[in-house]
Structure 1
């Protein structure tokens, strides 16, 4: 398997999906276990909640793949047809490939299953998520943030279009606006990194949020930059998940060290590392991912590193 030349836009595009998958698989063995010490290096040892094989990624990447395949196959990511394809892919994944699934996502997908073969399946799913949020049930989990990174590859020249798409794809399962706002910021961070080769996009993404939401998120980013990832232990909550990932990414100088730092956040380690990995891969490129990660990573529905690379490039090229 050959990856694109290091330092190229293609290298960074591949890094988005491959970086997320490697972060996911690296975090799998440590999920909900005591946090690793600073002198402990995480390994793709498998096990975890699955249990998973060494190098196998979990629901974070499995759902990201569902989105990426839709983006590969549809010209307009927010068309009714594309959203329906994604909703159906989520339902197929739930029934055929889900090795783990968050409580919120499981409830929304279960309630939408009756609409699987209808054209309105995405609408039914999003309405169910909105209803759950309106009921007062916690609806700001990290389950949409973990999967939306590939959207950036379909909007590399269109930050406002990306922000709108990030919200739509988040809303499929997460009715709380906090989840959509987190997706907007992180997707813009990924997009900006692929195009501009720096990490300035997360802060630039504040301008894509409603004006009355920017100060809160700016403060949360400030906090993340001043504290280590493990300070945000309640990272099943989307704000804390983003803070833990941003703490790791913004405080470390390269792909491998930052990804290890994300795993050391503890608690939902695979998700925090998958979120961080998408942005790290976008910034540093697939060529910066350690070879032992690239050779080991794999998961549903049968992708290895080469397949993930091909999928990411197909998305970016279709929407160029």
Structure 2
């Protein structure tokens, strides 16, 4: 049985990282320091001009996944794609380019199993392996924490709806296996996750993540939207911090793709430290806070069908 405190920590940590990073998204570390010193509080306005505690596509797409798992009680890729499309058609203020392209293609009738591949095949290297699927995938780690083979399968299938590149699909596998490892109390869940991925995993992804946390200089971490950079930086901050708050603050203040790196770091730190480690001053204004808590508790206590 997954701890409800840890499960809530994952989804609320993801949303806290997302909301803390949203106002400074696209700014450099130097710009953040110049304007804010260090971002430690939920800020209003900023990059998207929204109230304090507002989340972005990272959390909203994770909510689509969590709601589908809870309501359908199994992984249903078409239902998740339908929820993504409904969200897309609500005109969200923040959405990644590959996600938008894939959902437009899906709206034209392309099957959910192949839509991401269709988009990926027309993308040049450098614009085909973004972090738009790793940012949202954490609900699967709660639902299938004790079903590693199912977790790997659904992580890849769900990523491929919008992000088919192997670095994205296996990035979701490694991230979710790491989160699930924390839920199971493993001592070194990232190392265990890397040991379990098969030979199809891109070498660049595996070798980059093998450097975390002890074999890389913190100053070499990068903060772009490239999935390999996002995972390395977010995992580093989540694994080296002494608290969930420290992990998220460190990730956000690095600049760059602050909402997504913050969200991924927050999900991992939430699994590691639990909901109780997240500051009340962040949770109080957090958008969807009650929904996230309820969904996390339900995912942790419901037997989601792993055979579908």
Whether the TM-score (by the shorter chain) exceeds 0.5 is: yes
Q: Provide the aligned length of Structure 1 versus Structure 2.
A: 295
**TM-score, normalisation: structure 2:** 0.89
Matching residue of 1:99: 93
Contact 1:140 1:237 in 2 (8 A): yes
Q: Distance in 2 between matches of 1:88 and 1:48?
A: 31
Quote how far apart the aligned CAs of 1:229 are. 6.9
Quote how far apart the aligned CAs of 1:31 are. 0.3
Q: How big is the alpha-carbon RMSD for the aligned residues of Structure 1 and Structure 2?
A: 2.0
Contact 2:77 2:112 in 1 (8 A): no
Quote how far apart the aligned CAs of 1:192 are. 1.3
Matching residue of 1:314: 298
Query: In the alignment, does 2:108 pair up with 1:114?
Result: yes
Matching residue within 178, 193, 197 for 2:182: 193
Q: Distance in 2 between matches of 1:69 and 1:276?
A: 22
Matching residue of 2:6: 12
Q: Distance in 1 between matches of 2:94 and 2:134?
A: 16
User: Residues 77-88 of structure 1: matches in 2 within 5 Å?
Assistant: 77=75, 82-88=76-82
Matching residue of 1:3: none
Quote how far apart the aligned CAs of 1:83 are. 1.2
Matching residue within 251, 254, 263 for 1:262: 251
Q: Distance in 2 between matches of 1:199 and 1:73?
A: 33
Structure 1, unmatched stretches of 5+, are: 1-7, 116-120
Matching residue of 2:134: 145
**TM-score, normalisation: structure 1:** 0.86
**Secondary structure of residue in 2 paired with 1:96:** coil
**Secondary structure of residue in 1 paired with 2:38:** coil
Contact 1:230 1:265 in 2 (8 A): no
Pick which of 131-140 and 184-193 moved more.
Answer: 131-140
Contact 2:142 2:299 in 1 (8 A): yes
User: Residues 157-172 of structure 1: matches in 2 within 5 Å?
Assistant: 157-172=146-161
Q: 1:288 to 1:100 in 2, by over 3 A?
A: same
Contact 1:160 1:208 in 2 (8 A): no
Residues 118-160 of structure 1, C-alpha deviations (whole Å, 9 max, x = no match): xxx6xx2342211222234332100000000010111121112
Pick which of 221-230 and 172-181 moved more.
Answer: 221-230
Query: In the alignment, does 2:236 pair up with 1:247?
Result: yes
Residues 52-98 of structure 1, C-alpha deviations (whole Å, 9 max, x = no match): 21011111000000000001012321xxxx21111111011111152
